[in-house]
Chains A and B, each alone.
Chain A
Amino acid sequence: MRIPLVASLAWQDYRDDGWLSACSVLALVAVIAPLLVLFGLKFGLVSSLTERLENDPATREIIPLGGGRFSHAFVEQLAQRSDVAFAIPRTRQIAATAQVGALTLEMLPTAPGDPLLSGLPVPAGLDQIVLSHTAAEKLAARPGDWLQTRFARQVAGRVEAQGTRLQVLAVLPLEAFARDGLFAGLSLLEAAEDYRDGRAVLALGWPGDAAGEGAQRVYPAFRLYARSLSDVEPLRVHFAAQNLLVSTQALSIAQVQSLSRNLSIVFWIIAGLALAGAFAAIFAGALAAVARKRRELSVLRLLGFSTGALLLFVTLQALYGAGFAALLSAGLYGLAEAGLNRLFVQVPGEYASHLLVRHYALALVAVLGVSAVAAACGGWRVARIQACEGIRDV
């Protein structure tokens, strides 16, 4: 079989049949282009929502509810898990406050790898902090400023206080943390807790009782972030198995995931129906083409073309149409995508409608595949064309 010769003959006949060919291309475009737009919307919407969730570390946060008793080693072990991005113990909330001027700030422990501080310098030692956006606004503090900070305690009904100077390393963006707070190394929080428990803090020169020898510090809570959205639910289950109640954003993650799943189902139902219709149309088109080109096909057979070559002739013409339809549909989708994104998108980097290269490739392969199979089924009748039949019809 001379494939290039058959391809060239099929192409010349296809071109000669211009109007009919164009109509079949448009019929296919009417199927493919809306599917691309629908899938683009689904993919763009879901990936934007997912990205939004993924970019917001708060979604991946797992917060232990109620007071617990955790050792440093336990939290350290959690941090080593592959599905945990970051974990650090928290001191008692009531002891984790700091007074700067008239403002009482919530203190949060941090360490390298803290997703809230991504891209910012991480405070170390006892004199560095990162301020939340609202706190920095109220204090009019900027990175590099030194803040005089007070820690107060009541001992036997008497109020005592100690102070230290803390340097602002950076200010968090508002979307990372919306309350008044400061992020500091765990040692500063432990110092504040020790002081409020009446113990001395030697490193800061704060007076009090001597620290108990070898006493294991017990933490009531921890800050923990799952590595990815899909790790949140398994972690929740893991904690639940240990009788540890946690609060997660699993619900909002599940909502996006079920939206994605349901939209996928809708899409595939529509795609299935549309492709079945396209298959039927191409099948009928191939049948009609074999009937219409009976004379030409029988002349080709008389000249010595094989059945396979004639089948290829019919199938290739369907593939030419499918190729053009795919190109045209991609172009129309491109226009629709630009329009939809202009209409719906406010945040740069997010899309209302979006397709990846592999989606285009998949669409192309699907269209070519369906066309080839449908045309081959419809064109199978060429096998029955006898050279002696059609050649007298002229």
Chain B
Amino acid sequence: MLNLSAVHKSRGVGSQRYSLVIPGLHLCAGEQLAIVGPSGCGKSTLLDLLALVLAPDQVGRFEFNQLDIEGLWRANQQSTLAGLRSRHLGYVLQTGGLLGFLDVRSNIALPRQLLGLKDDGSVARLAAQLQISDQLAKKPGALSVGQRQRVSCARALAHAPQLLLADEPTASLDPLNAERVMQALLAQAREHRAACVIATHDEPLARASGLQVRRISCQRDSDGGVTATLGEAC
């Protein structure tokens, strides 16, 4: 489903340069992967590349569902990319990324509405499974951080995407809550047979959750810039 090799992304120049190198990344439906590394090492950049919101600089191969993503970026096919995002991707942001002007129910239902899908009860079902059923009528501002994170998980799963991306979904939670949210997210993803890429600095939690783990390692280059490389599974 997802097939990358030799993908580069750089920002800045000279000693301010930061480069991310993905030698290879292959993901099949239902596969669950954790990207671990210290904060600032480029986990978010990797996720943004996978989420089709950040254009890569150099690409050996970047395929999503056999579609040449690099070609879409080169042709500036923003609306095609947006269409792919809305249909196939779910993204859980570190701090929720919920829309404050919508209540919880509308936030979760939004990806389905964007695709013109009827409400088949999946909003209520997801809310029940993520234990936020009694929060549906509230605005996100009235929720605790943990609840917001679960709403964000529900929104990312509502339209049954093929690929679920999560950027530090548990970073702002206490360990107990962190584990509960992670388990809930992975259980839902498994149920929908969605492939998962979860960026986290919490390697023990990732391993405890049964995720395949790949590290991002950083090294300083001779020009003073930093190159981060996605390592193999370990």
Contact = CB atoms under 8 A, between A and B. Distances in A.
B131 to A, nearest CB: 22
Contact of A13 (B95, B101, B116): B101
Interface string A35-73: 000000000000000000000000000000000000000
Interface stretch (B86-94, B186-194, B198-206): B86-94
Interface string A298-322: 0111111111000000000000000
A387 B81 CA distance: 12
Interface in B64-100: 78-79, 82-87, 89, 91, 93-100
Given A16-B100, A296-B99, A388-B53, A304 B114 contact: yes
Most-contacted residue by chain A among B86, B91, B98, B101 (CB, 10 A): B101
A99 B13 CA distance: 114
Given A296-B100, A388-B53, A303 B95 contact: no
A305 B101 contact: no
B82 A305 contact: yes
Given A12-B106, A302-B51, A386-B53, A17 B101 contact: yes
A355 interface: no
A296 B101 contact: yes
Nearest to B85: A304
A296 B110 CA distance: 13
Contacts of A17: 101
Interface string A371-394: 000000000000000111001101
Contacts, number: 75
Given A302-B51, A302-B53, A304-B87, A2 B113 contact: yes
Interface residues of B, number: 31
B93 A394 contact: yes
Nearest to B96: A394
B114 A299 contact: no
A355 B187 CA distance: 66
A9 interface: yes
Contact of B110 (A295, A303, A387): A303
A303 B111 contact: yes
Q: How large is the interface on A (under 10, 10 to 19, 20 to 34, 35 or more residues)?
A: 20 to 34
A20 interface: no
A5 interface: yes
A84 B79 CA distance: 67
Contacts of A300: 99
Nearest to A11: B101
A299 B156 CA distance: 12
Interface string B11-51: 00000000000000000000000000000000010001001
A247 to B, nearest CB: 72
A302 B85 contact: yes
Contacts of A307: 78-79
B113 to A, nearest CB: 5
A121 to B, nearest CB: 73
A303 B114 contact: yes
B142 to A, nearest CB: 13
Interface in A144-159: none
Contacts of B137: none
Given A13-B101, A387-B53, A303 B85 contact: yes
21 contacts: A9-B101, A9-B110, A13-B101, A15-B101, A299-B98, A300-B99, A302-B53, A302-B85, A303-B114, A304-B84, A304-B86, A304-B114, A305-B82, A306-B78, A306-B82, A387-B48, A388-B48, A391-B97, A392-B44, A394-B93, A394-B97
Given A2-B116, A392-B93, 5 more contacts: A303-B85, A304-B86, A387-B48, A387-B51, A392-B44
Sorted nearest first, the 5 A-B pairs with minimum C-beta distance are A304-B86, A16-B101, A387-B53, A394-B95, A304-B85
